Amino acid sequence: MEKAIDRQRVLLQHLRPSFTSSSVEDIESSISASICSAGDSAAYHRASVFGDDVVIVAAHRTALCKSKRGGFKDTYPDDLLAPVLRALIEKTNLNPSEVGDIVVGTVLAPGSQRASECRMAAFYAGFPETVPVRTVNRQCSSGLQAVADVAASIKAGFYDIGIGAGLESMTVNPMAWEGSVNPKVKMMAQAQDCLLPMGITSENVAGRFGVTRHEQDQAAVESHRKAAAATASGKFKDEIIPVKTKIVDPKTGDEKPVTISIDDGIRPNASIADLAKLKAVFKKDGSTTAGNSSQVSDGAGAVLLMKRSIAMLKGMPILGVFRSFAAVGVDPAIMGVGPAVAIPAAVKSAGLELDDIDLFEINEAFASQFVYCRKKLELDPEKINVNGGAMAIGHPLGATGARCVATLLHEMKRRGKDCRFGVVSMCIGTGMGAAAVFERGDSCDELCNARQNETHNFLSKDAR
């Protein structure tokens, strides 16, 4: 028996050329099925793929309110962000000191000022000084970019727990260009197109791809109808965090304490006849109106992500799994086509096909681009924005991505086994698009963690 054991030891040494010690303890400890002999040269350690998944354990948002005249017109931006950050702690019983980073998508405010406001909001929410905060700005996709950045950092091993959030107060920070424009821009058409008003890019999409005014108004009516139905049935209650704030009477200056918990831009009685009466805003004889465009809004959202193994160790409920992300560039003059390019890229990166996606949250920046992307990708209308979109709910630029993630994952949870994969996507000013793929949290386990491959990728044609 001892001779047989010795032969096995010698054989192991030959099979493991990197093995240097001859001690029995080292040999026995080296016998493992967890990591291949490629060691550090392996492209990815596949021993813990399931446990290494980046998962979402909580996703919440404020209500979205009309800027300058809605429920948050007198609310400071940091007082919008703090409640959703605090909710992530309270609803999961997470120790806030364990968070490795808070990344906040935000667009319009001066960079250093907004970065300070986000840091202040973290303190208001109960995070200790040891938790860092930073902002990210990829315009309309900033909230989704923040989530993607945190997921990437967790994958890279920088930390195990992070928060991707979004914030915008378009009351405090309206869309405007500060300072002068470089005259060099006149020398390049594409650079000039980066300065086009977003409404003009909407008209360009409608004109170039034949999206009619009726189609746009119909999409807007559907958005309001679905958002109103979702609100009435309480579908948003799990994702919306009520915010205690104040409303100031502009005439008397009197302050009235209020709690805001419902999106205030939804028009349940919107009709095609009413929208048809509205005049085009950006182009004479155009088709883009205030009624078939996204609403200018105030709001915030936050998403708590962590490594699956950590979530399981803590007994956290897994709301969703972050599967892939893609950001792409498109012609700035028709920036609204971004989702039509970004969605296929993100879906392919996740190893899926468009038909595998059960739900889509596509930001309705303008009805023209929303209708175009839906038609271009030949998506089932019953799968898209089932609870309404930005034309009804609102589009606080930096917060929209986080809002969409919260809305998508809570709807996927409600649908259960009939909904496995979902996509969040949006177009981006200056000509870009972004998309991310999510999987429902309870739809996979350690033994079934990938889409079934029905074809065989043989290494050699001789194997056929």
Instruction: Please give the single-letter amino acid code of residue 179.
Output: G
For the annotated catalytic residues, the residue numbers are 140, 395, 427
Strands 297-307 and 421-428: unpaired
Could you tell me if 194 and 431 are in contact, meaning their C-beta atoms sit under 8 angstroms apart?
A: yes
CB 385 within 8 A of CB 360: yes
**Closest C-alpha among 283, 258, 302 to residue 166:** 302
Q: Specify the residue for token string 């930073």.
A: 134
Tokens linked to 357: 């996606």
